[in-house]
Chain A
Amino acid sequence: MIPAAFDYARASSLEEALRLLREAGPEAKLLAGGQSLLPMMKLRLAEPPLLVDIGGLAELSGIRLEANELAIAALTPHAELAGSAQVAEAFPLLARAAAGIGDLQVRNLGTIGGNLVHADPGSDLPAVVLALEGRIVLRGPAGERVVPAEAFFLGPLTTAIEPGEILTEVRFPLLEGRTGTAYVKHPHPASGYAVVGVAAVARLAPDGRVEEARLGVTGVGLHAYRARAAEAALRGRRPDASAIEEAVAHATDGVEVNGDLYASEEFRAHLCRHHMAQALREAVAAAA
């Protein structure tokens, strides 16, 4: 429970944080809420020589509603996502997923930026960000770039972020038309992480057919993913039981499914189909 020795620097601005990171090299880590990083350091699974604390930066805080998107700054804690009226109004699944992360203390300290950058394969928010087609804004020495969610998650604890870059915010395009959302999760009884978590967004045409379905899945593969084949199977169809059943048959297409002590590959794939169907039913009901 005692981390290896490390240096600590508190950044007073984003620019300073970028500079500190650049000077320290790739081994340095950013500290925001610390809810994933500090436990790893205490177990000595991570031994960064320097922590650059960005936790106090006002410029990385807050939720802004813009013309057609909601911009959520990196330091927004899960508790704020779960309690924000703006979030609940625009993206009820995001509020719901955030409310189910860890415990109250974790939700008060853990941040959306830290969560996405850490990219735990069982973390809830990546599935939601995928389903909402969030765009991840990264600032680095060369300026700003925007990465679509689907190009961001690359592997367990691995993302598209480059050394020296800082995730500053996530931009979520607002939902249009008859759209409903859902997040359904089978939590691990010990860790609370998703054994399987499915985020669903369903937009229905006036005749009730599925115009678009977007499915983000976490806990199942090496990283959170879009279940594109399942989405495609639903497009243009009435979302009845048989359409949903046919769609979720593709829930893990192309995915190397995780197996562990709690849930084998086979059971996890089953849970994924089961929860995807549930998420789709809920999203369709919310849209209708």
Chain B
Amino acid sequence: MPTLFGTPLRRKEDPRLITGHATYTDDIRLPGMLYAAILRSPHAHARIRSVDASEAVRAPGVVRVYTGRDLEGRLGPIPTAWLVPDADLKTPPHPALASERVRYAGDGVAMVVAESRAAARDALERIRVDYEPLPAVVDAEKAMEPGAPLVHEEVPGNLVLHWRAGNGAEAAERAIAQAEVVVRRRLRNQRLIPTAMEPRAAVAQYNPATGELTLWLTSQNPHIHRVLLSGALGVPEQKLRVVAPEVGGGFGSKIPFYPDEALVAFAARDLGRPVKWTEERSENCRATTHGRDHVQEVVLAGTRDGRITALRVRAVANLGAYLSTAAPGVPTILFGLITSGPYAIPHIDVEVFGVLTHTTPVEAYRGAGRPEATYLLERLVDLYAREIGMDPAELRRRNFIPAHRFPYETPTGLTYDSGNYERALEKALEALDYDGLRKEQEEARKRGRFLGIGLSSYVEICGLGPSKVAGAVGFQGGLWESAVVRVHPTGKVNVYIGSSPHGQGEETTFAQVVADELGVPVEDVEIVHGDTAQTPMGWGTYGSRTTPVGSGALALAARRVAEKARKIAAHMLEAAPEDLDFRDGAFQVRGVPERKATIQQVALQAYLAWNLPEGMEPALEASAFYDPSNFVYPFGTHVAVVEVEPATGQVKLLRYVAVDDPGRVINPLIVDGQVHGGVVQGIGQALWEGAVYDENGQLLTGSMMDYALPRAGFLPPIETYRTETPSPVNPLGVKGVGETGTIASTPAVVNAVMDALAPFGIDHLEMPLTPEKIWRAVREAEARKGGAAA
């Protein structure tokens, strides 16, 4: 059988994307289309005394202005769809437009619909809103204090969830009390702005005669959007079509169901004309969900000889002003359960407080919970290594779950499918020439140059996931995937998938899988996705799940097609099905190679149906629904090498080595690309990115002039390596690789900078590690030591 599996094919989707022939939501233009613009609150917290839109309504080109009052009883509240159990979860209502109170700077107050984008934008300035500003709280810990301003009056203490995980708080407490070494830290995992290249957009069209509504949307999960929109809008699901055309990145920020798209759909139906809304970049900073934002009190206990005995985590997660669609699951299920990381830790105790503040809602952001867990664990492991004077690589080696203990059950209740953590670590150390580099570092220090080497070993929960687990953890949906594989009369193939890739390259990856299973050229396979009218149900692209779960469905469907084709071929060749070999795209009678039928010949016969086996249905297609039996757990070790210039605080990245084990690799080129992108975003968190609010709730980093994203020139070449430990859970042995880079790279870089600063006695600084922070820390350290270290 020809094998495309493992071949670095160039992406099929790229020619259209890089030559301007792709259709994004904002490219859609419909006859008679209107344009919407949304008025957003400038205040983080205020009572709305009145909204006067009379002047805006009379402005040139304006068709309609909607305020919160106009929607009451007509457009349902925006739902939260991950109802984490045993967490005392509160889900305060989220109106599509605020009518009584605004709760963050960016909260929608009114929507203008006009004949042009410019007219809609101009009219926003003619709406008079009388606000009574109220005290705001932006810091989650302050929001928990008695007397703090309440974001929602029905949520006392602003506490929306309180959740625990682990195998016993008392046992962990005892282990900590009895430990030879205890490392305690307070860590901040700062708030990030996902900043997809394409901002959000929506176009809605309603046919009053049929009652059908179509919504084109920048979505990672059009089927979920359809279900939620159907509820909020009262349009029955069979009349509702959601299309995610080309989507220019999401990183989690295009998972949620936002007020804006509900408003666009509502207006299109109300006005009987198509309506388009496209977010501006400054809106994207304020009104599209943010990520991370934890304060963590963490304790790691261990022995003098480097055995971890217990971990305790108390995290306060800032969830913003409203609970976004999947928000409750991120700092709980996706964070707390993975705190064991790649280590065998006897006792784990995790406690999470989810808190509302007057800030933009916080959602999943590439990695979603797992970067926050990996960061705290990898920082603690390095601090522990420094405390006992052990090499950080050796400390990791001593605590890894050994390869023979898989499947491994963690104290948090997960079952890791497969792994060989030490092999990935050793490969990274070898690629790096770790021992040589340590000597170089030693030499450099003597000459006043400060090199740092930072390790980060990780394990990720991905391939979300078994639906029964989804149900058990309160996710309001399934987590299976589906595929229809349709071989046409000419032998060409369309595959209709439920998942909704938006830049990850699955049109290529999936074509490789199907071409392999059916023995057809990869050019003959086209993947159709992202349109609820064309594709079967799927649960979306996030959590590194599309390749592991989607390809599971795909492989099963393709195998069913191949099975039917074998029966038809056997009938054509007058042989028994089991006497046929299927290779190079043809069924051959074993031992009589000239007696054969190609898959294309079989397809034609399947459609002609002149002479099919008795009782067989015509055509050649099959569908499959794949619900995985477990999550999959990719892992690896990343290493960053940096040089820090103490005089300016500048960090220069010298090398970056990534060893990832995503199970079997379908397309190594695409896997490298995913690792590169993820690593870069994770480095961004370590060194540059950070959303900052002032105490009144104004976002100070609300533009790309202030919010520093990584640029190509800031980065070294990324050296990617892999080990391969197939997943026993997945039909293809694949895991997932979309988020590993982001999960691993942040602590690798921070550990490297702290390693560089070790001669100054500096062992922790908060992210992002900006020049001023480093310069101040060095200066203070020198003042303490009387300048001895420099």
Contacts and interface: CB of A to CB of B under 8 A. Distances in A.
Chain B binds chain A: yes
Contacts of A261: 692, 700-701, 706
A213 to B, nearest CB: 22
Contacts of B705: 188, 190-191
B282 A43 contact: yes
A189 B690 CA distance: 12
Interface in A27-77: 43
A274 B708 contact: no
Contact of A267 (B117, B121, B708, B772): B772
Contacts of B28: none
B714 interface: yes
A274 B688 contact: no
A264 B779 CA distance: 15
Interface in B280-297: 280-282
Given A189-B708, A190-B704, A191-B706, A271 B118 contact: no
A5 B771 CA distance: 42
A189 B280 contact: no
Tell me which of A188, A189, A261, A271 has the highest count of chain B C-beta atoms within 10 A of its own C-beta.
A189
Interface string B566-599: 0000000000000000000000000000000000
B74 to A, nearest CB: 29
Given A262-B770, A263-B772, A189 B700 contact: no
Contacts of A263: 771-772
A5 B118 contact: yes
A190 B648 contact: no
Interface in A245-265: 261-264
A264 B772 contact: yes
Contact of A190 (B118, B709, B772): B709
Given A262-B772, A264-B772, A274-B648, A189 B688 contact: yes
B441 to A, nearest CB: 24
Contacts of A190: 688, 704-709
Contacts of B117: 2
A4 B122 contact: yes
A4 B705 CA distance: 21
Contacts of B704: 190
Contacts of B647: 274
B775 interface: yes
A4 B647 CA distance: 46
B706 A271 contact: no
B280 A188 contact: no
A20 B702 CA distance: 37
Interface string A159-199: 00000000000000000000000000010111100000000
B775 A267 contact: yes
Contacts of B711: 189
Contacts of A186: 648, 771
Contacts of B280: 1
A214 B121 CA distance: 48
Contacts of B708: 188-190
A190 B770 CA distance: 12
B648 A2 contact: no
Contacts of B282: 43
A270 interface: yes
Interface string B757-776: 00000000000001110011
A282 to B, nearest CB: 16
Contacts of B701: 261
Nearest to B705: A191
A189 B704 CA distance: 10
A5 to B, nearest CB: 7
A48 to B, nearest CB: 16
Interface string A1-31: 1101100000000000000000000000000
Contact of A270 (B707, B709, B775): B775
A181 to B, nearest CB: 22
Contacts of B770: 262
Nearest to A262: B770
A261 B772 CA distance: 10
A190 B121 CA distance: 27
Contacts of A270: 775
Contacts of A274: 647-648
A43 B648 CA distance: 33
Contacts of A267: 771-772, 775-776
Given A5-B118, A261-B700, 11 more contacts: A1-B281, A2-B118, A2-B122, A5-B122, A189-B688, A189-B711, A190-B704, A190-B705, A262-B770, A264-B772, A274-B648
Interface of B: 117-118, 121-122, 280-282, 647-648, 688, 692, 700-701, 704-709, 711, 714, 770-772, 775-776
10 contacts: A1-B281, A5-B122, A186-B648, A186-B771, A189-B688, A191-B706, A264-B772, A267-B771, A267-B772, A267-B775
What are the nearest 3 A-B pairs in CB distance?
A189-B708, A190-B708, A191-B705
